[in-house]
Structures are given as structure tokens and as C-alpha cells.
Amino acid sequence: MAKRGETKNISKVLEDVISQKHFKVGIDNLRVQEAWVKTMGENIQKYTYNVEFKKGKLYIKLKSSVLKEELIFEKNKVIKLINQELGKEYVKELVLK
């Protein structure tokens, strides 16, 4: 923490704020949600009404039971594609509802 009157680089301040655990969790959630949309495309997004990431699990609520069945068979592939998009292994499990 900078002392009073001491200047601090804005990028360092932002890095300090973002590195706090509650901010990091929220940012990770957003990154995974964006990767889901980008990886799966707009057609699948039309049948998705809730995407949430918590502690390595990606929860997806779907409007289509047919799509749900397809994704169940392709879970590992979907996880791999999303993690490739993110450049890091965020998603360890895919939960379809």
C-alpha cells in the first residue's frame, strides 16, 4: 500500500485490486461465460438461459433436452474447447441442467 503523498502506478493499483480473491472469482466467472459464448456460438447460446462458473464447475441451464443430451455426450470435448479458449484450465467439470 502506498503511503500518503506517495504516487503509485495505476496499473499496479488495478493489479492489487483485481488480485483480491472476491474480484478474481467474479472475473474468472466472466471469462468463462465469455468463452462459453465464443466457443459454442450463437445457435447454442439461443438455448442457454443461465451460465455460471463456480470452483471449477461450469453450470449450464438449457431450454432444449435434445441439446442437453448432445452436450452430455460431448462434455469432455466442450471442456477442452473452453479451456483452450481461455488459455488455462479453468473448467474441470460441466454440469448441464
Q: Domain boundaries in the chain?
A: 40-97
User: What confidence tens digit (pLDDT) does each residue in 17-48 have?
Assistant: 556 655 566 778 889 999 999 999 988 989 99
* Spatial contact of 60 and 51, defined as CB atoms under 8 Å apart: yes
Max CA pair span of the chain: 62
- More confident position, 19 or 73: 73
Answer whether 71's CB lies under 8 Å from 48's CB.
Answer: no
- Contact present, 80 and 88 (Cβ < 8 Å): no
Whether the predicted pLDDT of 73 surpasses 90 = yes
pLDDT at 95 over 70: yes
Higher-pLDDT residue of 39 and 12 is 39
